[in-house]
């Protein structure tokens, strides 16, 4: 790495020395929105304290006198037009900016023109804004590639974080884009249409309406498109074919097409491949991720528009159809019975299909009344066949063995809808809103299960079963929430709120044993169940908020009454009635220390009722050696949560610092009570052979957790790069109950990450990152579970364009593990490479040969530590293959239509 940085620094030094005595000019053409030349506009270029001015001619063209290399701030002003600004870099040649489209002013302010210097990073109130022109990416880059270069933003494993918080929402020009899948949204938007990136914490729709905030926000990225990219069609289509190690055919097809026409935005995306690319996050064939071998066919559409003058609409629909084949080898090392080890080989294949639809319709009838409707619908079907061979050993002795197979077909349906009615009174701050919510979730399935179980202890015995299980689960939620806010004084607001919620659910499980000559005719009541549950919740509360220029704080409390009623008809009849009364306080504080420094503190409380599966006291024997049974006496969990966040940005120095800490405490925590038989045992009439286990959920006190992270970003001007440092750590204190002994398992997870992203030019792009992670676990009941696991990773990516049309790309990552089970501590290197050529007019075509996992070392290893065992799992994964890929880019834009002029009034 030191040698690489030295070469880059030396090359930059030599290049700057060669051009030090040379001068160059900047030219361009100014056009209005109708593509007509704009004359007599003033063009100013500023470098440090020096500035150069020029005027555009009749044809709209302008050119500066010769200037020294460097970074200049460009500003253009013309009467009746919005000011235009950008950053221009002179480096070794004249710069032609091409056509610059000026936007007509929507209003004039006493003929005063204000021209603002464009900075790479600007803090505007609660929003951190980045100027895309200050970051260099290659011509094929997408929005994800651009965001990776920006301070405080990190993208790893398809997860996006900004200022240390997870980004869960992407907006384009203020409108939702691709629903709740932010990484897919970024991969389907090219970088060259982006003008600015805004990062902020978005409040809920209800909070935005009332202005009353209780601290819960969503980290959101808003992408502002360039003014000359709002009318047109753009995107790409690609297709490729190749071979893997076994000379099996590999293929990958995909497309992402966008049509922007003012308020109307339509994106159509799709893919078909057998190289493990899923979720529309294609990289032109460089797949290989996921577990097992996957074939995927998928497509979707995202739509946003304005219907009339009062209604904004945004919706999306996606479908997927896939085949998956997985082979797993698992090793569980138990500590409760000295030397007990469970090994398992599992192979499965399945076919899944799904549909997902969401819609958002927001109508503002006038400035005082509005309605928001947000329905969502999803439907999925899975058909999976699996075979398992599991063995339990104690030392060299076999305790038991199971050979079983399953064929499972399930269908899941979910529908939810929310209607939010909002009304503002004439008195500022006085509002009333009513929210109506409905949700229905159903899961139906049929399962065929065969097993041959052998128990070697004692006199030894074996059993076999062949069962068919029909299961149906359904749950509903109907709720209404009324909110009223009233201003108190000049800076205070009181909020009154009432919520009523009804949540019924039912679960039916009917199991039949196979009878020769009769089929699945014998009803097995032991593994069958009919369970119904319903809860009614009343929640009422009041809160007060005070807002000043720098400080915003709120304090409130809620009273909640939950009435839980459960009925079971089989295998045993019983009725359960529980009432829970809770006080739920909430508080938040937002302190704007300066324009670029902010401190946020929030305290929330919440409850969570046990699920139907946790309440059902029916034995689940899907894994005959590891049985599970629910507990109908469970109480709801009550949780306290405190979050503290601090952000500081220095826009001139382009540095950013963020830190956060989150702490949580839970009462009536739902933990697992596990019994592992050290001899053949009978529990409630059921036999449990030595080495087998039975798990039941129970309420135990004492859960607590805390996690924090620190992030710092800074430029390294001498190598034209930006560096990011991140440290994160978490601690958990989880109650456990093992064979009647209670205690607490503690876990600490700490990680350190450093990344370096270049900002050299569009033709040379590279990134480097390294991370180290340590996980430590301690179990006072069984000290043998006290373990420490280490992992380290290094990744480097280089993209270079030679001779304007030859493209070279390579990325290499190295992963090292230690502290795993024998045979799992494998270090491996994953190396991908491609080389290609730009073809067709304006280089809109690209033909490229790609090689994935050149060293054939790709693997998938997972390490898990529970309260009773340490588990290591190794799964098959796609390894070395080659693809020849052709990509075609589409990019056709039209000038933004000029606003219609109002006709002069008739005399």
Question: In which element (H, E) is residue 71 found?
Answer: strand 70-77
Question: What percentage of the chain reaches a pLDDT higher than 70?
Answer: 88
Reported as a pLDDT band with limits 50, 70 and 90, residue 897 is low
Among the listed residues 783, 859, 849, the one whose alpha carbon sits nearest the alpha carbon of residue 828: 859
Helix residue ranges per DSSP H, 20-171: 143-148
Which DSSP state fits 291?
S
pLDDT tens for 23-76 read: 778 888 888 766 778 888 888 887 765 678 888 887 888 888 887 777 777 888
Average pLDDT of the residues of the chain: 84
Res. 695 pLDDT band, cuts 50 70 90: confident
Sign of CA dihedral 200, 204, 208, 210: negative
Is 246's pLDDT higher than 90? no
Q: How confident is the model at residue 18 (pLDDT cuts 50, 70, 90)?
A: very low
Contact partners, residue 86, CB within 8 Å, separation at least 6:
73, 74, 118, 133
Q: Is 602 helix (H, G, I), strand (E, B) or coil?
A: strand
pLDDT tens digits, one per residue of 98-136: 888 887 764 444 444 444 445 678 777 678 888 888 888
CA 449, distance to chain mean position in Å, is: 36
User: Nearest-CA neighbor of 319 among 379, 237, 394, 382?
Assistant: 379
Strands 231-244 and 881-893 turn out to be: antiparallel
pLDDT at 536: 93
CA–CA gap between residue 169 and residue 854 (Å, rounded): 36
- Is the Cβ–Cβ distance between 193 and 213 less than 8 Å? no
Contact (CB, 8 A) for 410 and 444: yes
The yes-or-no verdict on residue 598 having pLDDT over 50 is yes
> pLDDT at position 112, please?
42
pLDDT above 60 (res 903): no
- Helix H or strand E segment including 3: helix 2-19
The answer to whether 381 and 354 have CB atoms below 8 angstroms apart is yes
Query: Given this model, what pLDDT does residue 92 score?
Result: 61
The Cα 167–Cα 170 span in angstroms is 8
- CB atoms near residue 630 (< 10 Å): 22
Residue keyed to tokens 């701050």: 429
Q: Is the pLDDT of residue 220 over 80?
A: yes
Q: List, in sequence order, every residue forming a beta bridge with 17; answer none if it has no partner.
A: none
Angle value at C-alpha 416, between 413 and 417, nearest 5 degrees: 150
Helix H, strand E, coil C: the string for 201-263 is: EECCHHHHHHCCCCCCCEEEEEEEECHHHCEEEEEEEEEEEEEECCCCEEEEEEEEEEEEECC
pLDDT-derived band of residue 163, with 50, 70 and 90 as boundaries?
confident
472, 412 in Cβ contact below 8 A?
A: no
Q: Tens of pLDDT along 842-856? A: 899 999 999 999 999
User: Average pLDDT for residues 536-559, to the nearest whole number?
Assistant: 92
DSSP code, position 83: -
3-state secondary structure 450-467: EEEEEECCCCCEEEEEEE
Query: How distant, in Å, are the alpha carbons of 647, 748, 809 from that of 662?
Result: 15, 14, 40
Any idea which residue has 């919706």 for tokens?
A: 315
- Residues 316-320, mean pLDDT to the nearest whole number: 92
What SS3 class is residue 11?
helix
Which of 106-110, 316-320, 561-565 shows the lowest mean pLDDT across its residues? Answer: 106-110
Token pair listed for 218: 């969503």
If DSSP codes are grouped into helix, strand and coil, which group holds residue 180? coil
Q: What span, in angstroms and rounded, lies between the C-alpha atoms of 636 and 628? A: 20
Cα dihedral value 85, 91, 93, 98, nearest 10 = -20
Alpha carbons 88 and 452: distance in angstroms, whole number:
73
Average pLDDT over residues 709-736: 90
- pLDDT at position 572 over 80: no
């Amino acid at each position: 790495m030191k040698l690489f940085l030295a070469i880059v620094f030396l090359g930059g030094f030599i290049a700057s020395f060669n051009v030090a005595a040379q001068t160059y000019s900047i030219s361009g053409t100014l056009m209005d929105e109708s593509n007509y030349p704009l004359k007599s506009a003033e063009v100013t270029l500023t470098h440090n304290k020096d500035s150069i001015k020029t005027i555009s001619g009749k044809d709209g063209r302008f050119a500066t006198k010769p200037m020294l290399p460097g970074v200049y701030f460009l500003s253009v002003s013309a009467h009746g037009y919005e000011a235009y600004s950008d950053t221009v870099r002179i480096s070794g040649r004249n710069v032609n900016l091409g056509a610059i489209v000026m936007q007509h002013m929507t209003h004039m302010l006493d003929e005063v023109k204000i021209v603002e210097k464009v900075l790479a990073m600007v803090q505007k109130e609660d929003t951190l804004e980045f100027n895309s022109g200050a970051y260099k990416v290659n011509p094929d880059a997408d929005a994800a590639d651009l965001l990776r270069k920006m301070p405080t933003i990190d993208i790893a494993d398809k997860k996006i974080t900004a200022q240390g918080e997870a980004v869960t929402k992407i907006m384009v020009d203020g409108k939702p884009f691709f629903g709740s899948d932010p990484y897919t949204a970024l991969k389907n938007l090219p970088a060259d249409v982006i003008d600015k990136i805004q990062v902020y914490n978005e409040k809920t729709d209800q909070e935005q309406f009332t202005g009353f905030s209780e601290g819960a926000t969503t980290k959101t990225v808003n992408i502002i498109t360039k003014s000359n990219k709002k009318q047109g069609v753009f995107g790409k289509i690609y297709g490729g074919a190749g071979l893997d190690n076994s000379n099996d055919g590999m293929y990958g097809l995909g497309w992402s097409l966008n049509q922007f026409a003012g308020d109307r935005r339509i994106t159509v995306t799709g893919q078909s491949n057998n190289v493990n690319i899923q979720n529309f996050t294609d990289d032109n064939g460089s797949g290989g991720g996921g577990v097992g071998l996957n074939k995927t066919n998928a497509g979707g559409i995202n739509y946003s528009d304005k219907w009339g003058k009062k209604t904004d609409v945004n919706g999306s629909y996606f479908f997927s159809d896939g085949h998956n084949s997985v082979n797993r080898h698992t090793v569980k090392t138990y500590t409760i019975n000295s030397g007990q080890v469970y090994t398992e080989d599992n192979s499965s294949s399945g076919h899944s299909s799904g549909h997902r639809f969401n819609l958002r319709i927001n109508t503002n009838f006038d400035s005082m009344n509005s309605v928001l409707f947000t329905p969502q619908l999803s439907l999925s079907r899975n058909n999976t066949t699996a075979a398992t061979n599991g063995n339990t050993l104690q030392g060299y002795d076999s305790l038991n063995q199971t050979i079983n197979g399953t064929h499972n077909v399930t269908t899941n349906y979910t529908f939810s809808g929310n209607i939010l009615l909002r009304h503002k009174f004439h008195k500022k701050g006085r509002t009333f809103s009513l929210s109506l919510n409905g949700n229905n979730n159903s899961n139906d399935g049929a399962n065929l299960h065969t097993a041959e179980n052998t128990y070697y202890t004692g006199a030894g015995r074996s059993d076999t079963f062949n069962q068919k299980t029909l299961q149906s689960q359904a749950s509903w939620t109907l709720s209404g929430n009324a909110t009223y806010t009233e201003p108190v004084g000049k800076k205070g607001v009181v909020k009154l709120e009432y919520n009523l919620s009804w949540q019924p659910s039912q679960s039916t499980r009917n199991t039949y044993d196979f009878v020769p000559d009769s089929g699945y005719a014998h009803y097995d009541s032991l593994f069958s169940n009919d369970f119904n549950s319903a809860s009614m919740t009343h929640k009422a509360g009041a809160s007060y908020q005070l807002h000043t220029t720098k400080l915003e704080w709120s304090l409130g409390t809620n009273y909640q009454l939950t009435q839980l009623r459960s009925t079971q008809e089989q295998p045993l009849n019983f009725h359960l009635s529980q009432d829970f009364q809770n006080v739920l306080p909430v508080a938040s504080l937002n302190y704007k220390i300066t324009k670029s420094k902010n401190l946020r503190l929030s305290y929330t409380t919440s409850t969570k009722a046990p699920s139907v599966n946790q309440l059902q006291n029916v034995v689940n024997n899907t894994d005959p050696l590891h049985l599970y049974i629910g507990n109908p006496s469970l109480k709801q969990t009550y949780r306290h949560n405190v979050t503290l966040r601090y952000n500081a940005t220095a826009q001139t120095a382009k540095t950013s610092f963020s830190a956060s800490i989150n702490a949580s405490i839970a009462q009536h925590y739902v933990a697992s009570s596990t019994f592992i038989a050290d001899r053949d045992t009978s529990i409630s009439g059921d036999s449990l052979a030595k080495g087998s286990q039975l798990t039941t959920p129970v309420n135990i006190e004492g859960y607590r957790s805390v996690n924090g992270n620190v992030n710092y970003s800074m430029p390294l001007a001498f190598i034209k790069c930006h560096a990011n440092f991140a440290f994160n750590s978490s601690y958990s204190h989880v109650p456990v109950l093992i064979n009647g002994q209670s205690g607490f398992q503690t876990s600490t997870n700490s990680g350190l990450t450093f990344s370096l992203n270049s900002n050299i030019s569009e033709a040379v792009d590279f990134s480097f990152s390294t991370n180290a992670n340590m996980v430590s676990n301690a179990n006072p009941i069984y000290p043998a579970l006290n373990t420490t696991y280490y992992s380290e990773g290094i990744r480097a990516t280089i993209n270079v364009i030679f001779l304007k049309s030859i493209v070279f790309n390579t990325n290499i990552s190295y992963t090292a593990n230690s502290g795993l089970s024998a045979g799992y501590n494998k270090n491996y290197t994953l190396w991908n490479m491609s080389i290609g050529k730009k073809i067709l007019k304006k280089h809109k075509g690209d033909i490229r040969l790609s090689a994935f996992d050149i060293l054939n070392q790709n693997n998938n290893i997972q390490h898990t530590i529970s309260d009773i065992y340490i588990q290591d799992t190794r799964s098959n994964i796609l390894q070395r293959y080659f693809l020849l890929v052709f990509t075609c880019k589409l990019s056709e834009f039209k000038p933004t239509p000029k606003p219609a002029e109002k006709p002069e009034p008739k005399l």
